[in-house]
Amino acid sequence: MTYQGVLKKMMTSNNDVVQYYLDMEADFLNMNQLINKEITLSFVKYECLNCGLEKQIYRQGFCQSCFFETPRAGDWIMRPELSKAHLGVEDRDLEFEKEMQLKPHIVYLANSSNVKVGVTRKAQVPTRWIDQGAHEAIEILEAPNRYLAGITEVALKEHVADKTNWRKMLTNDNEDADLVAVKEQLSQYIPDEAKEYYLKANSEEIHINFPVEKYPEKVKSLNLIKTPTYSGVLKGIKAQYLIFEDNTVFNVRANEGLVVSIEV
Ligand SMILES: [Zn+2]
């Protein structure tokens, strides 16, 4: 069977083991069912996720002009502390920004290779943690908007990482951390404006199990533009990475906007 479609990040559901789904236009693939099967991935063309044109992808699935124009790629997405919708100030499209920013947001700790702090919309829990490959996570604070969550993250990352080491995450080189203890220790650094939103009671670690049969010892990243066709046996999925038997890994999210074919 051959499937074709423009890559968008895999959808997930957090069951005993995370289930991954890839939307391939005419088909909806449960990627877990492809584990231990040989699949062939091929690059077909570009297709910008905003304008739909066949233009080279610049970042986040968008062509260069869309990346600098669409409200879906404003600076406040990567840097929540720059959010201004709560002040009624527009970045690119105030209605869209109100819709996205003036919603409950969670500041969390996630452990994928190391403990890091992050921000996500409440509706994106636990999706965000799965997408980062976190095997455990905990909520720190629930803010009424993105800005307050963002300034909290900025304050906390003085004391804890805000990045994941993706190679360690993919080789499963990690340690269990006592996230409850880290959360309590960090709570003193929450900015005054956000202190009232600290989640005192909500102190349970969430554990996530990824469908990986065999972790690679080292990883080599597949660049589908330079190597337009790749075949390998899928051994697992973690975060947004497909992990193959020969240590090749393919980051679906980083390849958004590429039209690919998948032959099973
Ligand atoms: Zn575009």
Tell how far the Cα of 58 is from the centroid of ligand 1, in angstroms: 9
In a domain, 51, yes or no: yes
In a domain, 229, yes or no: yes
In a domain, 107, yes or no: yes
Tell how far the Cα of 57 is from the centroid of ligand 1, in angstroms: 8
pTM of the predicted model as reported, rounded to 2 decimal places:
0.95
The set of residues, in sequence order, having a beta carbon less than 8 Å from that of 233 and lying 6+ positions away, is 36, 37, 38, 39, 244, 245, 246
Amino acid 233: pLDDT: 98
Q: Pick from 263, 229, 233: which is nearest to 248 by CA? A: 233
Q: Answer with the one of 207, 239, 255 that is the final residue of a domain.
A: 207
Express each pLDDT in 131-171 by its tens digit: 999 999 999 999 999 999 999 999 999 999 988 899 999 99
Confidence at 251, pLDDT banded by 50, 70, 90: very high
Pairing verdict, β 220-221 and 248-251: parallel
Judge if 166 and 235 occupy the same domain.
no
Tell how far the Cα of 70 is from the centroid of ligand 1, in angstroms: 9
Q: What is the mean pLDDT of residues 27-52?
A: 97
What is the rounded CA–CA span in Å between residue 4 and residue 135?
31
Q: Pick from 167, 184, 142: which is nearest to 239 by CA? A: 167
Tell how far the Cα of 46 is from the centroid of ligand 1, in angstroms: 10
Amino acid 202: pLDDT: 65
**94-101 helix and 146-156 helix, angle to the nearest 10 degrees:** 60
Reading the block at residue 163, the tokens are 């990045």
The set of residues, in sequence order, having a beta carbon less than 8 Å from that of 195 and lying 6+ positions away, is none
Tell how far the Cα of 66 is from the centroid of ligand 1, in angstroms: 4
Confidence at 175, pLDDT banded by 50, 70, 90: confident
Q: Average pLDDT, whole number, for the chain?
A: 96
Tell how far the Cα of 67 is from the centroid of ligand 1, in angstroms: 7
Tell how far the Cα of 49 is from the centroid of ligand 1, in angstroms: 7
Amino acid 61: pLDDT: 97
Judge if 172 and 220 occupy the same domain.
no
Amino acid 157: pLDDT: 97
The set of residues, in sequence order, having a beta carbon less than 8 Å from that of 81 and lying 6+ positions away, is 147, 150, 151, 153, 154
In a domain, 82, yes or no: no
The DSSP symbol for 17 reads S
How far separated are the first and last CA of the chain, in Å rounded?
5
Judge if 110 and 52 occupy the same domain.
no
Judge if 118 and 202 occupy the same domain.
yes
Amino acid 240: pLDDT: 98
In a domain, 143, yes or no: yes
In a domain, 170, yes or no: yes
In a domain, 89, yes or no: no
Judge if 50 and 139 occupy the same domain.
no
What is the rounded CA–CA span in Å between residue 15 and residue 227?
34
Reading the block at residue 140, the tokens are 């720190």
Judge if 132 and 188 occupy the same domain.
yes
Residues 160, 117: contact at Cβ < 8 Å? yes
pLDDT over 90 percentage in the chain: 95
Task: Count how many domains the chain has.
Answer: 2
Q: What is the mean pLDDT of residues 221-246?
A: 98
Judge if 126 and 173 occupy the same domain.
yes
In a domain, 144, yes or no: yes
Q: Answer with the one of 163, 179, 207 that is the final residue of a domain.
A: 207
Domain that holds residue 29: 2-68+215-263
Residues 238, 169: contact at Cβ < 8 Å? yes
Judge if 7 and 60 occupy the same domain.
yes
Judge if 238 and 201 occupy the same domain.
no
Tell how far the Cα of 159 is from the centroid of ligand 1, in angstroms: 38
Is the pLDDT at 108 greater than 70? The verdict is yes
